[in-house]
Amino acid sequence: MKPYESAAFRHFFYWSDTIAMKKNKKKKTGNLNPMRCPYCGASVVFRSAEGIYRENSADTMLYVCSNYPECDAYVRVQKGTKKPVGTMADHKLRALRTEAHRHFDKLYKSGIMSKEEAYFWLANLISAPLSEAHIGYLGEYYCSMVIEESKKLFERKTASMRNKRKGDCA
């Protein structure tokens, strides 16, 4: 019997293969840009927002789907880093996130609650840990939920404040 025909030999090869694969995998996740476009599965390019943003005087950098502009999914990064501020989004989701942010921000910008309280409320609403309670991570379903619930909470809080004031005057 030749050595490569023995079970032990095959076994060795099998395991060395698996280890090599695992090592490879490790390497891949250590890469700064392991992202795939969640819409079309294409690779993602780290590039300037020039030509994508109407104007880019802030020199914003983005992760953009390599199929852009056919697929217009992208996400910007924190200035001076390669850290995305959320997950990649197409036009529709970006619009939804902007709207969700507008309604959510109103909760603390209006002074009916603190920013910290608002983020606790958001984390609870979407059942996420506080560190992941960011609208940039949300998909369409949760964005719609945040819009609806922020509106309701805003109405409730402002109504109870109005009633309280009325009570104070009486």
The residue ranges that bind Zn ion (CB under 5 A) are: 37, 39-40, 42, 65, 67, 71, 73
Between 65 and 143, whose beta carbon lies closer to Zn ion?
65
Count CB-CB contacts under 10 A for residue 158: 12
Query: Shortest approach of Zn ion to residue 45 CB, angstroms?
Result: 11
Handedness of CA 148, 149, 152, 157 (dihedral sign): negative
Tell me the closest approach of the beta carbon of residue 51 to Zn ion, in angstroms. 17
Q: Helix/strand/coil (H, E, C) string of 14-78?
A: HHHHHHHHHHHHHHHHHCCCCCECCCCCCEEEEEECECCECCCCCCCEEEEECCCCCCCCEEEEC
Q: What are phi and psi of 43, to 5 degrees?
A: -70, 165
CB of 35 to Zn ion, least distance (A): 10
Beta carbon nearer to Zn ion, 73 or 100: 73
Tell me whether residue 39 or residue 137 sits nearer to Zn ion (CB atom): 39
**Cα–Cα distances in angstroms (integers) from residue 83 to residues 36, 152, 165, in the given order:** 15, 33, 45
Which residue, 64 or 153, is less far from Zn ion as judged by CB?
A: 64
Cα distance between residue 102 and residue 109, in whole Å: 10
* Nearest distance in Å: CB 39, Zn ion: 4
- Nearer of residues 37 and 62 to Zn ion, judged by Cβ: 37
The phi, psi pair for 108, rounded to 5°, reads: -100, -25
Cβ at position 87, least distance to Zn ion in Å:
12
